Structure 1
Amino acid sequence: MSQIINPHSHPPASLKALFSSLIKNRQLVYQMTKREVIGRYKGSVMGLTWSFFNPILMLVIYTFVFSVVFKSRWGSAGSNSKAEFALILFVGMIVFGLFSEAINRAPGLMLVNSNYVKKVVFPLEILPVINFGAALFHSLVGFGVLILGFLLINGFINWTIIFLPIVLFPLMLLIMGISWFIASIGVFVRDVGQTVNILTTLLMFLSPVFYPITAVPSEFQIWIMLNPLSFIIEQARAVLIFGEPPSWIGLGAYTLIAISVMLLGFAWFQKTRKGFADVI
């Protein structure tokens, strides 16, 4: 049974309350995430198959532009093939896609689901989780395509792939914290959605998606690494493409920061949600 929370009350904002809500509403989260994923392709002839073709199409376009038109190569490995460049590029695209899809949709979550806010007693805190779940599904499809492509090109898969969930976990926590925060802000300030779209586009070009960190002048590299996506993109490439273990110290520090952001974002959401119905 779903946890029932009055949106006009003062709901708890602790870590225990968060886990309790997610556990009690796990079936609701699963069913609504499934509906969200399927609903995006409702009425289309190819249905969920589009989730496979979309990342492949974008990969082909970006690979052509950067490796054929601009003749880009990755780092000092000037002899790497277009296929290898495509795989390296694809990792950055998937990680960025996970972040941007979840974050860009977050500001309008309460507005789109106003019926849950105004008319139904509903655990509103799971809406950003459902939104993230749909984004995660598309990213997992992308990683599946990536791994298959790596296997076909190289004939093997790096054993370090087992570390990928550990690498992505802190980013998932960070995304959830930001999502709760801007989902709340988006109710009171409608311009947040446009601002977030601009910022995520800016982050794409300030992340090592299309270029290696080493291509950035040394005096600017520190600023690129302060981007929350840069470290995760680099670590994902390490375990997937280069067969290297992740930086455990770096992941540990990142996880602590991500947990703090998640808790602050959830607390903010819980403290402000009582005003959602009045504004919407």
Structure 2
Amino acid sequence: MSVLRTGLRRTPLLIMAPLWRHRDLIRELVIRDLAQRYRGSLLGWLWAALNPLLMLAVYTFVFGYVFQARWGGGGEPAKFAVYLFAGLILHGLLAECLTRGPRLILDAPNLVKRVVFPLEVFPWVVLGSAIFTAVTSFAVLLVGAALILGQVPWTVILAPLVMLPLCLLALAVGWFLAALGVFLRDIGQVVPLLSTILLFMSPIFFPIEALPEAFRPLVYANPLSLIVVELRAVTLEGRLPNWGSLAIYGVVAAMLAWGALLWFRRVRGHFADFI
């Protein structure tokens, strides 16, 4: 068993260890996190579906019928809202992990002093909550695509594979910022700005083809860009994704998550001294 653990530590498979070893704890913490989000509201968990539904309705009305915005200069005005909403789902997933990351350890001082509590599960919990929100919004997106575009292509079944690399990156961000936030409190003031930059520097509000060739590499440097383009391809356009680019993205994201988890575990012993 010790040989197996040592082998896992030397490979990116280590990032899956907390999920498997503490799966029951993570599930309970995700449920608690989501319950706290809707606690006290009259409609409770119904807001999980109502929020994205209302957002899509507002985007459709504002961009489709008020501004008459057209995606890529053509198509029905309401098409813009569907394409915009698809991108916002992905940004919301990454932004939740990004903005909550610096406070994950700081908001649990009592658990930090418990040697037996696995602090590395916190980024998994945030990711689980973000995935729940994204999946709920994605279901609303499919309804909107069926009503506005008239169809949902079979390639939509590939959407989880397209989103997987982004989830790995979100884990990397979670572990890195959770540890960094303990030692550098100012990082919590910076990440909201970074989240906004990621939003407007990705092809969420515009098709990548609308940019001059010289600016496209800059936009593709945004970790959201490739996933946004490929999710729209499989969900709204019925095209297969660029498997090569997704594979490279996934490998890099897994390596980053592995390194972030190793660093998190290395500095964990100093958390109690700074809280």
TM-score greater than 0.5 by the shorter chain: yes
Which residue matches 2:210? Answer: 215
Which residue matches 2:193? Answer: 198
For 1:109, give the aligned amino acid. Answer: L
**How far off is 1:178 after superposition?**
1.2
CA contact (8 A) 2:64 2:79 kept: no
1:36 and 2:33 matched: yes
Which residue matches 2:4? Answer: none
CA contact (8 A) 1:187 1:279 kept: yes
Query: Sequence identity of aligned pairs in percent?
Result: 42
Which residue matches 1:46? Answer: 43
Would the alpha carbon gap of residues 101 and 20 (structure 1) be closer, same or farther in structure 2, given more than 3 Å must change? closer
Q: Give the total of aligned pairs.
A: 267
Q: 5 Å matches for 1:3-42?
A: 15=12, 17-42=14-39
Q: 5 Å matches for 1:37-76?
A: 37-76=34-73
Distance 2:257 2:14 in 1: 13
Distance 2:13 2:154 in 1: 35
Distance 2:181 2:56 in 1: 32
Structure 2 residue corresponding to 1:116, chosen from 111, 120, 137:
111
Distance 2:171 2:14 in 1: 15
Which residue matches 2:179? Answer: 184
Name the stretch that deviates more: 124-133 or 13-22. 13-22
Gaps of 5+ in 1: 1-11
Gaps of 5+ in 2: 1-8
Instruction: Calculate the aligned-residue CA RMSD, in Å.
Output: 1.7
Which residue matches 2:102? Answer: 107
Superposition TM-score, scaled by structure 1 size: 0.90
Which residue matches 1:153? Answer: 148
**How far off is 1:267 after superposition?**
1.2
Superposition TM-score, scaled by structure 2 size: 0.91
Q: 5 Å matches for 1:208-247?
A: 208-247=203-242
Distance 1:212 1:154 in 2: 17
Q: Does the residue aligned with 2:249 lie in a helix, a strand or coil?
A: helix
Relative contact order higher in (CA < 8 Å, ≥ 6 apart): 1
**How far off is 1:141 after superposition?**
0.2
Would the alpha carbon gap of residues 221 and 69 (structure 1) be closer, same or farther in structure 2, given more than 3 Å must change? farther
**How far off is 1:57 after superposition?**
2.8
Q: Report Cα offsets for 1:228-250 as digits up to 9, x if no partner.
A: 00000000000000000000111
Which residue matches 1:6? Answer: none
**How far off is 1:195 after superposition?**
0.3
Which residue matches 1:170? Answer: 165
CA contact (8 A) 2:155 2:238 kept: yes
**How far off is 1:91 after superposition?**
0.4
Q: 5 Å matches for 1:256-267?
A: 256-267=251-262
Distance 1:120 1:69 in 2: 57
Q: Report Cα offsets for 1:97-125 as digits up to 9, x if no partner.
A: 11101211111010112221124620000
Distance 1:61 1:149 in 2: 12
Q: Does the residue aligned with 2:72 lie in a helix, a strand or coil?
A: coil
